Structure 1
Amino acid sequence: MLRTAVQVDGETASYLTVREDGPLVLLLHGTYWSRVWLPVLGQLATAGLRPVAVDFPGLGHSGGELTPKTATVPALAAWVVRFLSALDISSPVVVAGHDIGGAVAQHLLAHDRLEMSRLVLVNSVAYDSWPAPHVALFQHPDTTPDDLLAARRQAVTRDLAEAATEQRIADYLDPWTDPRVRRSWLAMVRAADSRYTLDLVPALRVSTVPKLLIWGEDDPFEKVEYAEKFATEIPHTALRRIPRAAHIPTENAPDQIARALVDFVTA
């Protein structure tokens, strides 16, 4: 596993990868960080793909700091375009998004921001499913970065479900020990607005790009019913349900998800 970086807007954009060749699969996170994609990277690379799991600015291991203005879905989508330019990527790419990263991926497709060959959403926000109540609490102006660690520990323990171990929980929490990352997370939360996905629906309905939804069925917030609605209303969409998996299904069923991704991308 390789963590490397490029410069975007004068700041370090950190990403996880395994190989530097092959068709690019861009993996976007949401209110967590690139760690959510770690369990599937090796199998994607073994299949000849080039997985790139990037950390948004100010989150994970990337430099910079998000503000409520730069943390909106359209602003993050524009940043992704600049990140791909820094990687010197010009060929069509597969984009997969988890959580709010799924909203960014939908925006990229709906607004034709880059040449996308396939779209994958993994327990993504959609329609009016977000922000989840435990996240929306942090939109209140009285909340501070210091309130975050205990709440994030509770959230990641729930979202990992059966995959939760003390080591894994600590691994996920590690970036939030940095006050800059906590401030960036609060900016992302305060910029969260379901209008960003609701406004995309008309464009998604006419998109001919193949789409795959991979969904942990036990997610209490990004419920599988949203995925079912998306698969029914948006053409060229398939749904793969993952039983006994929660909001981070890559940790609960990495082999199933990696195989679903590989089959979809290489079909």
Structure 2
Amino acid sequence: MSTEHTTAGPLVAELPQGDISYRAAGPRSSSHPPVVFVHGLLVDARLWEPVAERLASDGIRSYAPTLPLGSHQRPMNADADLSPQGIAALTRDFLEALDLSDVTVVGNDTGGAICQLMLSGDTSRIGGAVLTNCDAFGSFPPRGLAPLFHALRHPGLVACLAPALRSQAVRHGPLAFGPLSSGPLDGALTSDWVQPLAGKAIRHDLAKFARGVRPGLLLDAAGRFGQFTGPVRILWGDADPYFRVELGRRLSESFPHATFTTVPAGRTFLPLDRPAEVANEIAAATGRSLRAGPV
């Protein structure tokens, strides 16, 4: 495979809110609409690597920024708006900085909430969307994760909790990443995800976001989904303990042109656990059919 098709990064985009690292995959000269991945809380761009590689092998160019959601290495500017609405604006600024248009935005977990905020506002650079298991409507945050979000609002409390996450048993346990995956997680990857929490500035960035999370935001956004007429594909793992199938189905019914597909035994981290299914949905949203390959 040529280097043009391999995942590159991290690269850096200079935005008004601060520098954002990102990874790019697929041919620069691709004739297909670009894909931009939006990850969730306490993970980084590497959540999308298995999906990006599949798309790249079929000629689709993708971009995966690491957003300031707790696993980022670069603190944002002190005055940056990092509320959920602010992160949505930051992601729009990322599209503008790279001069991307007709973008298919792809969101997972909290990143799906960010995509919904984007789809309810200025969509001039967005052509379509793929949403996997994520927050929606009044489930922001999900009831089962409300204590986590409450803790994340307090940087001092996070500083006390962070050392425990050095243990893989804790990170992969029932109170951390464990319930989000239907398969074994890479210990080195999850260690990298929590390591930035040791930084005071990173914890403060994360607190800005957590303090802005409230159910009314996505309920309000849903009232404007009818204005987006591009294709929306909802892919939902049916064994997710936090984001139930009914939530995904209701989300699909809120857009004028949406499909809804379930993934048996799938959980939140579909991009890691089921990259083939996710890549196929993205390709369909861009009007493509991927070549058959290993699941």
**Conserved in 1, the CA contact under 8 Å of 2:83 and 2:209?**
yes
**Conserved in 2, the CA contact under 8 Å of 1:67 and 1:188?**
no
Structure 2 counterpart of 1:56: 67
Shift of 1:206: 4.2
* Residue 11 (1) aligns with residue 18 (2): yes
Q: Which moved more, 1:208-217 or 1:157-166?
A: 157-166
Kindly provide the CA deviation profile for residues 50-83 of structure 1, in whole angstroms up to 9, marking residues without a partner as x: 1111112474445233779722222112212222
Structure 2 counterpart of 1:250: 271
Shift of 1:195: 1.3
Structure 2 counterpart of 1:36: 47
Unaligned runs of 5+ in 2: 1-6, 289-295
Alignment partners' CA distance in 2, 1:55 and 1:48: 23
* Residue 25 (1) aligns with residue 35 (2): yes
Question: Is the partner of 1:161 in helix, strand or coil?
Answer: coil
Distance 1:189 1:136, change over 3 A: same
Alignment partners' CA distance in 2, 1:220 and 1:231: 19
Moved over 4 A (4+): 66-69, 139-143
**Conserved in 1, the CA contact under 8 Å of 2:107 and 2:113?**
yes
* Residue 158 (1) aligns with residue 179 (2): yes
Aligned pairs (5 A) from 1:1-267: 1-3=7-9, 4-9=11-16, 11-19=18-26, 20-22=28-30, 23-31=33-41, 32-57=43-68, 59-61=70-72, 63-65=74-76, 70-89=81-100, 91-131=101-141, 132-138=145-151, 141=154, 144-149=157-162, 150=164, 153=171, 154-267=175-288
Greater Rg by CA: 2
Question: Is the partner of 1:215 in helix, strand or coil?
Answer: strand
**Cα RMSD, aligned residues only:** 2.5
Alignment partners' CA distance in 2, 1:58 and 1:141: 14
**Conserved in 2, the CA contact under 8 Å of 1:145 and 1:179?**
no
Kindly provide the CA deviation profile for residues 144-195 of structure 1, in whole angstroms up to 9, marking residues without a partner as x: 2314434682422321232324334324334334343233223222221121
Alignment partners' CA distance in 1, 2:123 and 2:77: 21
Aligned residues: 266
State the AA in 1 paired with 2:16.
D
State the AA in 2 paired with 1:137.
H
State the AA in 1 paired with 2:63.
V
Unaligned runs of 5+ in 1: none
What TM-score does the superposition give when structure 2 sets the normalisation length? Answer: 0.80
Shift of 1:199: 0.2
State the AA in 2 paired with 1:178.
G
Shift of 1:196: 1.3
Question: Is the partner of 1:118 in helix, strand or coil?
Answer: strand
Alignment partners' CA distance in 1, 2:80 and 2:201: 16
Shift of 1:208: 1.7
Question: Is the partner of 1:200 in helix, strand or coil?
Answer: helix
**Conserved in 2, the CA contact under 8 Å of 1:159 and 1:247?**
yes
Alignment partners' CA distance in 1, 2:196 and 2:155: 22
**Conserved in 2, the CA contact under 8 Å of 1:28 and 1:97?**
yes
Question: Is the partner of 1:205 in helix, strand or coil?
Answer: helix
Distance 1:142 1:59, change over 3 A: closer
**Conserved in 2, the CA contact under 8 Å of 1:148 and 1:182?**
no
Distance 1:134 1:164, change over 3 A: farther
